[in-house]
């Protein structure tokens, strides 16, 4: 009487998404209080993301903020090509910078992830970060396309308002040999940082590809096959800085 025991259960994989109920029951001969023999709880199994998702104010969580939408992307991965369409004019308050895209489970040349403004939207992602506003952290097959209509218009601005040195708008960071950012694309965007270079020499970057540190001396192994196309980079000391590893 009054003793405790910790049961161990084998792990199980559930392939189908949905809401499940779990039951746990203990049985003992001549149990004097059978009313407390069973507990139950529910849990939800979520499927990988697939298709187009609107991200912005008024969307169901976690797609009401870009930070949380990206966290869900990295958590669940992708089952087909995924596109986040930004519906708000500004992504600043309520966001956590840098918005970090870690390796995406299931990403491939077919199952790409695209971040872009929604049709007719003009979007600014802006905040003060000691590193960058957006960070691709060993992520592959990511497309950031600033055009809201699939042409060459620049409808997305990414700004790091920090005045500190070694800061960037976009940072591609390698996780090590064989684990860099690969097959990523940045196109049709405007990028800027927080220091007026007319009156200073603070090292800032529109696009920085490096290693684990956001600076020009950190070796970034295997950040390969990166496409930068039709971007406007202003108010930075170094427009594009790419440092590899020997």
Residue with tokens 């001549």: 30
Q: What 3-state DSSP class applies to 72? A: helix
Beta bridge partners of residue 132, listed in sequence order: 168
- What is d(CA 109, CA 111) in angstroms, rounded to the nearest whole number? 6
Assign residue 103 a region (left: φ > 0; alpha: ψ between -120 and 50; beta: otherwise): beta
Secondary structure of the chain: what % helix, strand, coil (to 5)? Answer: 5, 40, 55
Question: Per-residue confidence of the chain (246 residues) as pLDDT tens digits?
Answer: 566 778 787 888 887 889 999 888 877 777 777 777 888 999 888 999 999 999 999 999 999 999 999 999 999 999 999 999 999 999 999 999 999 999 999 999 999 999 999 999 999 999 999 999 999 999 999 999 999 999 999 999 999 999 999 999 999 999 999 999 999 999 999 999 998 888 778 999 999 999 999 999 999 999 999 999 999 999 999 999 999 997
């Amino acid at each position: 009487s009054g003793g405790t025991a910790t049961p161990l259960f084998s792990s199980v994989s559930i392939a189908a998404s949905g809401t499940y109920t779990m039951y746990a029951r203990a049985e003992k001969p001549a149990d004097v209080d059978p009313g407390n023999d069973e507990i139950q709880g529910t849990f939800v199994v979520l499927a990988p993301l697939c298709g187009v998702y609107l991200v912005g104010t008024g969307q169901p969580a976690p797609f009401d903020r870009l930070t949380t939408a990206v966290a869900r992307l990295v958590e669940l991965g992708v089952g087909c090509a995924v596109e986040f369409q930004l519906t708000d004019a500004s992504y600043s308050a309520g966001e956590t910078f840098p918005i970090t895209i870690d390796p995406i489970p299931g990403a491939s040349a077919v199952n790409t992830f695209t971040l872009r403004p929604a049709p007719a939207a003009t979007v600014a992602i802006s905040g003060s970060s000691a590193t960058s506003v957006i960070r691709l952290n060993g992520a592959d097959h990511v497309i950031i396309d600033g055009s809201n209509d699939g042409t060459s218009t620049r409808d997305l601005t990414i700004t790091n308002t920090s005045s500190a040195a070694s800061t960037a708008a976009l940072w591609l960071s390698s996780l090590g040999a064989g684990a860099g950012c690969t097959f990523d694309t940045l196109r049709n965007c405007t990028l800027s940082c927080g220091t007026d270079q007319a009156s200073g020499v603070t090292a800032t970057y529109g696009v920085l590809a490096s290693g684990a540190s956001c600076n020009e001396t950190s070796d970034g192994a295997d950040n390969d096959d990166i496409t930068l196309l039709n971007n406007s980079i202003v108010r930075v000391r170094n427009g594009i800085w790419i440092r590899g590893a020997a």
